Chain A
Amino acid sequence: MNHTLRIQLSSVEGAVIRALGLIERRGYSLNKCTVSEPDGTGRDMEVSVTSSRPGDLLKRQLERLHDVDHVELLPSVIVNPNKPGVRPITRRI
């Protein structure tokens, strides 16, 4: 499943890498990312990710970061689940 999220970040050190790190670490493969700082008050980030995990879970995981101000989950698009890059849910044994 493909998910697209718009993320508003504070303009503080580490905010972008913290959000991107969370996205990959939580099992979402990053397809596309744009970051801009339109008016100097904060950063807008838009990411497109692929995962078997739900997009709204990633939204809630991003929302608990202190320097994430707002997250919007755009309507998702179904893609070929066999597409390379889909990271399966793995479990510890």
Chain B
Amino acid sequence: MNASTHMAPELRSGSKILIRALECNGVKQIFGYPGGTIMPVYDALVGSGLKHYLCRHEQGAALAADAYGRVTRKAGVCMATSGPGATNLVTGIANAFMDSVPMVIITGQVPSALQGTDAFQEVDIFGITLPIVKHSYIVRAVADIPRIVNEAFELAESGRPGPVLIDLPKDISAGMGEVADVMPAPRPAGRMPDSGAMQAASEILSKARRPLIIAGGGIAISDSVEAFRKFVARTNIPVTSTLKGLGVMLPDDPCYVGMLGMHGNGAANHAVQNCDVLMVVGARFDDRATGHLAQFAPSARVIHLDIDPAEISKLRKADVAVVGELVPALEGIQPENTARAGWCAQCANWVKEFAWRYDAPGKGIYAPKLLRDLSRAQPEGLTITCDVGQHQMWVAQHCRFDNPLNHLSSGGLGTMGYGLPAAIGAKVAKPEATVVCVSGDGSIMMNVQELATLNRYGIDVKILLFDNSALGLVRQWQELFFEGNYSEVHLDDNPDFAGVARAFGIQARSIKEPEEVTDAIEWLLNSQGAAMLHVSIDSMENVWPLVPPGKPNHKMMKSNPKNGR
């Protein structure tokens, strides 16, 4: 695109200028829900080149835009009216903020003259969202629209991505102006890492006897997967991954030890506790990954690679910080010594020792085995979106990802209800992909209305719904850490989920027995159009291993000490 290509100004409404500005920024699809103050924009939408997906709750629209942004690495766009429309977006905005997802949010606002008067459907969405946006705007003049929209997309997508909100008062969207289109200017180059820091990192790694890399979500965000894999092949350093880093390494790579953290693999948690140098790449020492921070990687010197200077030494002091774009950083770090056979062998032994087992003693369907079988049934290109809870951890543990963009999980915010709208956003962004939403009986009800969106647009999403008639992860914690005092976790009165799906026009099937699994997976993956597979599992099933709160990562529980389950 040419910088600042001005077309002849013509008298247009603010809404038409907005729609054109979105088009100039490459937007093709929008997720949203109309209402009073955003009506001028919906009026201008008719006949535009933008495809609008009407979700059935604004939260669904925001979460669909989040997934669209993750998959495409371009800002997903969502739109809602003022007041409740805007506040319903908030969870989706926070979700994108916590996971560094590019998103542009457009909210209608009451007319400027009514702002601050408690007008109908007035809320200060600019103020409400201040802590959960990368930046935000209130548009005060029609002429500002092209500049603000261009800035919003650049901010959302550059550096560490994040959500950017544009609050648009109705007098601006309905107002007229002779305003020319402004094409977005070329983006400035990203920050280059400091050569001295890369040299220092190389020297520390050269002297390391037991180095380990944590692969984080920043690798996928910065499109650095290939550079990262080359770095690992060149340096022969074992790698663990965060939840959002899954898929950066091929699961069967001999250097890979699995996911670390609260529900991580024992091999990864032992490697991290025993390493002498920890190179953290695009990750931020989240407490679910580190366990008790003071005892995390206690013998390690830390090299931290990140685009965001504010992440350096936020939680764990970095001995060397390499701030900037990941690809040149990974290419510029060149340790001389890569011989560390004993340490690699030790890591490989841990991988064998802590390999997942699928011979569960129960008689019912074992969810981890079903998920492994699902991954095996379509090993390449399966995109899985998750809700939050036990099933989310089982997906992380037992599904195989060869690309981090194929695993869409609400990592930072932990948003129950993410999975179904995320699957919509992912499928819209990647129509050729097979998209499976893995959900639970608690989570699915958080955004169940989006089944109507699947049906309305014929979006081919497969839903795998694990039903343990409980809020499983909370129940597990009450079992382990609250002496079995179960409080508000039983969902024995769940609806007939297959019946619910059918009522929305989605084909559905329910299974309860292990013998049904193989056939059911084949049915789900090969069914024409959207489908739901409802799977009943044991309500007392737990996620293992588990690092108890306040404990270091190697103090993993492998079963309930009271009953051995």
Report which A residues bind B (CB closer than 8 A). 13-14, 17-18, 21-22, 25, 54, 57, 60-61, 63-67, 91-93
Contacts and interface: CB of A to CB of B under 8 A. Distances in A.
B517 interface: no
5 contacts: A17-B130, A54-B313, A57-B313, A64-B309, A93-B550
B517 to A, nearest CB: 35
Nearest to B323: A60
Which 8 A/B pairs are nearest by Cβ-Cβ distance? Answer: A60-B310, A93-B549, A66-B135, A61-B310, A60-B309, A21-B130, A64-B310, A25-B131
A64 B155 CA distance: 11
B310 A57 contact: yes
B234 to A, nearest CB: 31
Interface residues of B, number: 21
A24 to B, nearest CB: 10
Interface majority SS on B: helix, strand, loop or mixed? mixed
B363 interface: no
B346 to A, nearest CB: 31
Contacts of B155: 66
A66 B287 contact: no
Contacts of B287: 91-92
Contacts of B309: 60, 63-64
Contacts of A64: 160, 308-310
A53 to B, nearest CB: 9
A93 B309 CA distance: 26
B445 interface: no
B276 to A, nearest CB: 25
Nearest to A58: B310
Interface in B94-149: 126-127, 130-131, 134-136, 138, 140
Given A18-B130, A91-B293, A93-B550, A13 B310 contact: no
B127 A17 contact: yes
B166 interface: no
A60 B312 contact: yes
A76 to B, nearest CB: 16
A13 B313 contact: no
A80 B160 CA distance: 37
A60 B312 CA distance: 9
B126 A14 contact: yes
A7 to B, nearest CB: 15
Contacts of B313: 54, 57
B140 A22 contact: no
Interface string B276-293: 000000000001000001
